[in-house]
Structure 1
Amino acid sequence: MEVQPANAPQGETIDKAGDRASQKSLGHSSHDLEKQTTPPPQELQRKLQSRHLQFVAIGGTVGTGVFIASGQSIATAGPVGALLAYAFVGTLVYAIMLSLAEMATYLPIAGAFTRYAARFVDPSLGFAMGWIYWFSWSITYALELTAAGLIIQWWNSDLSIGIFITIFWVPLTAVNFLPVDLFGEFEFYFASIKVVALVGFWIFSICINAGVGDQGYLGFHYWKTPGAFAPYLVEDNAALAKFVGFWAVLIQAGFAYQGTELVAIGAGESANPRKTMPNAIRKTFWSIFTLFIATIFFIGILVPYDNKDIGTGGTNAGSSPLVIAAQLAGVKVLPDIINAILLTVVLSAASSNVYSGSRILVGLAEEGCAPRFLERISARGVPYIAVAATSAVGLLAYMNLSANGGEVFNWLLNIVSVAGFIAWSCICICHLAFMRALKAQNISRDTLPFVSWGGSYLACYGLVFCAIITLTQGFTAFMPWATKDFFIAYISLILFAVLYTGHKIITKSKIVKPVEADLVSGKFEDVASESWEESPRSWWKKTWNTIV
C-alpha cells in the first residue's frame, strides 16, 4: 500500500487519488501503472509462458491417438503408407499453424481463432465454429474419463468404469480452477511424462531393431515382408487398394494431429504474446510432428502390418503397438508400465480439454455468441463458470454404463471426429480474410509481430486439402452404401450447417467487409503494459514483498 507523506501538498494528494480512481475505472489495480506487474482482477491473467502453451497443446494432442490408434493406421496402410500419410497431414498442420501464428500474435485474445471468424469473415461462421469446437473438446473430456476407467480395468476387469470416472473427474476439474500459472505448471510436468515415454520407446526400438530382442536383427525386414503398403477395401486393383489405405490413414492422422492448434487458445493468457506466441506455436508444431513421425517409423520397423493384434482398436495396453513390439521382442514387463503411462497420457489430455473448452466459451461470450455470464472471472483470473460448464459435459461419460447410452455416446463422439477439420478449414479462411482486411485498411504485413512466409498460398493449400479430407472422410459409407454410416460420418457437417444457418436466420448477420473488420480490439500494443515476463528472482522478490 502506498503511503502519502505527511508534508505532501493537498493538491498533490487529490491528484494522485484522482489518478487512482481513473485507473480503477479502467480496470487497473491500485498500484501505479509503472509498477504494475500483474493484470487487474476480473480479467484473464497473462501468466502463461511459452513452455506452458506448448505443453497444454501437447497434452491435448499427444494421447491415445499415437499410443494406441497408430497401430491401426499401420494395419490400414502399412508402415510406409502410414508414415507418408502422417507426414502429409503434418504439412497441412504446418500451414495452419503459420496462419494461426500471424493472427494470434497480432490479436492475442481469449478464444483466439474461434473469434477471428466472427471478426474477419462472418459472425455466423464464428458462432457455428466456436460452438461445435467447444462441444468437441468437452465431449472429448468425457471420452478421456471413459478411457481412464478402461485402462484401470486392465488390472481388474471386475471394477466398474463409473468408479474411476468419478475419481478422476473431481481432481481434473479442480485443477482447472487453479490460477492459470499453476495450471500451466501442472500441465507442463504431467504432459512431459508422455514425451519422455515416447523418447524412451525410440531408444528401445533402436536396440530391438539392432538385434537385442528374440527376433534378432530386423532392419527393414517388415517393409519387404509383408510389405511397405497395405491394401484396404478394394480387392481387384492392388494399386488402388494401397491408395485407399493411404487416404483412410490421412483421416486417422488428421484426428491424431487435432489439438495442435490449442496453443493459440491460451493467447489471451500468454505473457508477452508478441514474443511468446510465435515461439510457442513453432515449438508446438515441430514437437508434435517429430513425436508422431518418429513413433510411426519405429512401430513400422518393429511390427508387421498383418499382426493380428495391431489393428484391434482397443483402449488399454493390450492394443498398444508399443506393447506389441515389446512382446514380439520377448520383453515381458513392459505392458504394465505402458498401461500406467497410458493413464497419465489420458489424464493429461483430459485436463487440457477442460482448459481449452472453457477459454473457447469465454471467447464466444465476449463476441456475443454465448451468454454473458460465461465471461465472469474470479479475482485469481479463472473463468469459473466456463470451467464448470465445460467440466459438467464430462459427466456424459456415465452414459457408457448402459448399452443404449453407449450407442448415443458413440454418436456424440463422431461430432468430435470432424470438428477439428472444420476448425482447420476455418482458420485458413480467417487468415485469408485477415490479410484482405489488412490490405483494405492500409496496414502493411511487414509491421506485424510475425509474418507467415507462405502468406495466402500456404493458407489456400491448407484450406483446399482440409476441405477435401472433411468431405471425403466418410467414403467407406459408400463402399457399399450404408445410410447409418453416412450420417455417423457426416453428422458434424450437418450440425455445423444447422448452427450457421440458424444463427444467420435469427440474427440476419452479414459478411464482414474487409474495410470494416475489427483489427484493433485486443491488438498486442493494447496489452503491452499488462504483459509480463520476469525472472524467478524478481518473482520471488515481488512475492516476498507482497507477503511482508
Structure 2
Amino acid sequence: MSENSNNHVKRGLKTRHVSMIALGGSIGTGLFVASGSVISQAGPGGALVAYLLMGLMVYFLMTSLGEMATNTPISGSFAAYAGKYVDPALGFAMGWNYWFNWAITVAVDISTAALVMKFWLPHMPGWIFSAITLALILCVNALSVKSFGETEFWMSLIKVVTIFIFLAVGVLTIFGIMGGHYIGLSNFTYKQAPFVGGLPMILAVFVVAGFSFQGTELVGITAGESDNPREAVPRAIKDVFWRIILFYILAIFVIGAIIPYTSPDLLGSSATDVAISPFTIVFKRAGLAAAASVMNAVILTSVISSANSGMYASTRMLYSMAHQGFAPKSMGKTNRRGIPIAALAVTTVIALLTFITSIEGPQIYLWLVAASGLTGFIAWVGIALSHYRFRRAFIKQGHSLDELKYHATWFPVGPIITLILCILVICGQNITSFANLDWEQIGITYISVPLVLILYIGYKIKHKTHLIPLDKVDVSPSDLRDEEK
C-alpha cells in the first residue's frame, strides 16, 4: 500500500462514536457475568458500595484525561502526556505498558470468543472461531477509522439495549408482574445481607470492580481521530459517567434483589459460563425461555467489541510512540486511509503469537496474561500523575483556568484520590500470597509492576532524563494531530 506523505491518522470519529466507544469499552463480561461473584462475596450492599466508589474514581480519572485531551488532542494520548508533563521515561514506560496490555488482551478475547461459541457448536475446534474473530477485527481496523467507529457504535448499542431490557424485566420481576410472585427487597435483608463481611470484603471486591471499568480511558485514545475533540470528549465524559453509574448500580441492585447472595450460581460466576450469568438467571426467573441463547449472543458481542477496541487502542498507542521517538519510525507511517498499517500488523502478529502459546504452551500464556493484568491500573496512575503535573505547571506559568476548554472536577482532590485508590488496588490484588509467601503467585499477580519499572529505569539511565521542571512543561494548547509528521 502506498503511504500518505503526511503520515498522520485521519479524523473520522463523530461525537456519537466517541461517546459510545467510551461507554461500550467499560461494559462487558465484568458486568454481564462476573458481577455475580462480587455480590456473592460482599452481598448486594457491599457490591453497590464497591462499584459506586470505583465509578466515582473513574469519573475523576476521565475528567483529568478530558482536560488534557481537549487542550492537546493526540492519538495515544496519555503516554504522550506522561512524557510531555512528567518525564519522557514515564511516557516511554506508559506507552509500551499500555500497548502490551491491549495486544495481550486481544489474544485473550479471541480465545474467549471460541469458548463462548462452544455454547452453540460444542464439537467445532475452538481455533476456527478464534481465527475468524481475529480476521474480522483486523479487517475492521484496516478499512478506516470510521469503520471502526461504526462497528463499535453498533456493538456497544447492543449492550446498552440489553441492559435497558434487563432493568425493565428485573423491576417487573421484583414486583411480581413477571415471574409469578412478589420478591421486593427481601434478599437485601436475607441472612448477613446487605453487607457481607463488612469493610474488609468491600475492599476485596473493590479490586474486582476496578477491572469492570477498564476501558473507559479509550476516550483519550479516540480524541486524536475525533472530528471535534473539544466537543466530543467533554460530552463523552459527561454521558459515560452517568450511564455507567446508572447501568452498573441499577443492574447490581436488580441482581441483588432477585438472586440471594448465597445462591451457588453466583459463586460460580465466570467470564465464559453464560448459563450462570446473573443476567441469564434473572431472565429465566422472569419466564423467558430463550434467555441463555440471547445472553450468549450479547456476551459474544461484548468479547468481539473488546478485541476490536484492543486492536485499535494498541495500534494507535504504537503509532503515537513512533512519533515521540519511543518506537521505530516505521510504526508511525500510515496508508492512504490514515491507518497506521505497520503498527496494526505488528500488534496482530503479537496477538496471534500469544494466542498460539495458549495452545502450545499454556504456562507461557498464563504468564503473558498475568503480565498484562495490572497494566490498566498502572495506566490510570500515569493519567492521574500527568494531570496533576499539567495543572500545577499551567497555574505556575501564569495561565488562567478560563483558557482551558474543559475543567477537571475537584482538582487536586480528583487526581489524588485516583492515585491513592489505584495504588491500593494494585497492592491489594493478592494480599494472601504475601501472607503465605507464595512466590509463584506473587510473581504471576505482580509481574507487570517490575516490567514497567524496568522500562522506566532503563530509558531513564540510557537517555539521562529528568523530571521536567514545572516552569519548563509545555502546556500551550495545540492540536498535535496536525504536528504528527
The TM-score with structure 2 as length reference comes to: 0.94
**Corresponding residue to 1:370 among 289, 313, 327:** 327
Find out whether 1:168 has 2:168 as its counterpart: no
Correspondences of 1:269-418 after superposition (within 5 Å): 269-314=225-270, 315-395=272-352, 396-402=354-360, 405-418=361-374
**Whose RCO is larger (CA < 8 A, sep 6+)?**
2
- CA deviation after TM superposition for structure 1 residue 529, in Å: 13
Between the aligned partners of 2:393 and 2:124, the Cα distance in structure 1 is: 57
Find out whether 1:88 has 2:48 as its counterpart: no
Find out whether 1:114 has 2:84 as its counterpart: no
* 1:490-517 deviation line (CA, Å, top 9, x unaligned): 1111211111111112222111112222
- CA deviation after TM superposition for structure 1 residue 398, in Å: 3.0
Correspondences of 1:53-68 after superposition (within 5 Å): 53-68=18-33
* 1:21-52 deviation line (CA, Å, top 9, x unaligned): xxxxxxxxxxxxxxxxxx98632122212211
Correspondence for 2:416? 460
- CA deviation after TM superposition for structure 1 residue 339, in Å: 0.7
Between the aligned partners of 2:41 and 2:475, the Cα distance in structure 1 is: 45
Between the aligned partners of 1:406 and 1:321, the Cα distance in structure 2 is: 29
**Corresponding residue to 1:424 among 348, 364, 380:** 380
- Contact 1:145/1:394 (8 A) holds in 2: no
- Contact 2:15/2:228 (8 A) holds in 1: no
Correspondence for 1:5? none
Alignment length, in residue pairs?
A: 479
Between the aligned partners of 1:327 and 1:476, the Cα distance in structure 2 is: 37
Between the aligned partners of 2:355 and 2:463, the Cα distance in structure 1 is: 34
The TM-score with structure 1 as length reference comes to: 0.83
Query: 1:58 is aligned with what amino acid?
Result: L
- Contact 1:414/1:488 (8 A) holds in 2: yes
Q: 1:323 to 1:129 in 2, by over 3 A?
A: same
Q: 1:460 to 1:386 in 2, by over 3 A?
A: same
- CA deviation after TM superposition for structure 1 residue 321, in Å: 1.0
Find out whether 1:257 has 2:213 as its counterpart: yes
Correspondence for 1:207? 172
Between the aligned partners of 2:457 and 2:397, the Cα distance in structure 1 is: 29
More divergent stretch after superposition (380-389 vs 437-446): 437-446
Correspondence for 1:498? 454
Correspondence for 2:34? 69
Between the aligned partners of 2:53 and 2:59, the Cα distance in structure 1 is: 10
Query: 2:319 is aligned with what amino acid?
Result: V
Between the aligned partners of 1:444 and 1:394, the Cα distance in structure 2 is: 45
- CA deviation after TM superposition for structure 1 residue 429, in Å: 0.7
Correspondence for 1:147? 112
Q: 1:230 to 1:215 in 2, by over 3 A?
A: farther
Between the aligned partners of 1:71 and 1:425, the Cα distance in structure 2 is: 28
Correspondence for 2:142? 177
Gaps of 5+ in 1: 1-38, 232-240, 531-548
- CA deviation after TM superposition for structure 1 residue 406, in Å: 2.5
Percent identity, aligned pairs only, is 37
Query: 1:267 is aligned with what amino acid?
Result: A
Correspondence for 1:441? 397
Query: 2:318 is aligned with what amino acid?
Result: L
- CA deviation after TM superposition for structure 1 residue 363, in Å: 1.4
* 1:122-162 deviation line (CA, Å, top 9, x unaligned): 11111111111111111111111111100111123222211
* 1:507-539 deviation line (CA, Å, top 9, x unaligned): 22111112222234x714x77999xxxxxxxxx
Per the alignment, in what secondary structure is the counterpart of residue 309 of structure 1? helix
- Contact 2:102/2:314 (8 A) holds in 1: yes
Between the aligned partners of 2:362 and 2:436, the Cα distance in structure 1 is: 26
- CA deviation after TM superposition for structure 1 residue 329, in Å: 4.4
Between the aligned partners of 1:59 and 1:388, the Cα distance in structure 2 is: 25
Find out whether 1:523 has 2:478 as its counterpart: yes
Find out whether 1:127 has 2:92 as its counterpart: yes
Between the aligned partners of 1:215 and 1:421, the Cα distance in structure 2 is: 44
- CA deviation after TM superposition for structure 1 residue 254, in Å: 0.5
* 1:79-138 deviation line (CA, Å, top 9, x unaligned): 110110000011111111111111110000111111100011011111111111111111
Per the alignment, in what secondary structure is the counterpart of residue 478 of structure 1? helix
Find out whether 1:79 has 2:37 as its counterpart: no
- Contact 2:22/2:236 (8 A) holds in 1: no
More divergent stretch after superposition (465-474 vs 209-218): 209-218
- Contact 1:75/1:311 (8 A) holds in 2: yes
Correspondence for 1:27? none
Between the aligned partners of 2:192 and 2:463, the Cα distance in structure 1 is: 56
Between the aligned partners of 1:348 and 1:270, the Cα distance in structure 2 is: 19
Between the aligned partners of 2:85 and 2:364, the Cα distance in structure 1 is: 36
Between the aligned partners of 1:464 and 1:215, the Cα distance in structure 2 is: 47
Q: 1:153 to 1:264 in 2, by over 3 A?
A: same
- Contact 1:60/1:350 (8 A) holds in 2: no
More divergent stretch after superposition (475-484 vs 66-75): 475-484
- CA deviation after TM superposition for structure 1 residue 298, in Å: 1.1
- Contact 2:141/2:147 (8 A) holds in 1: no
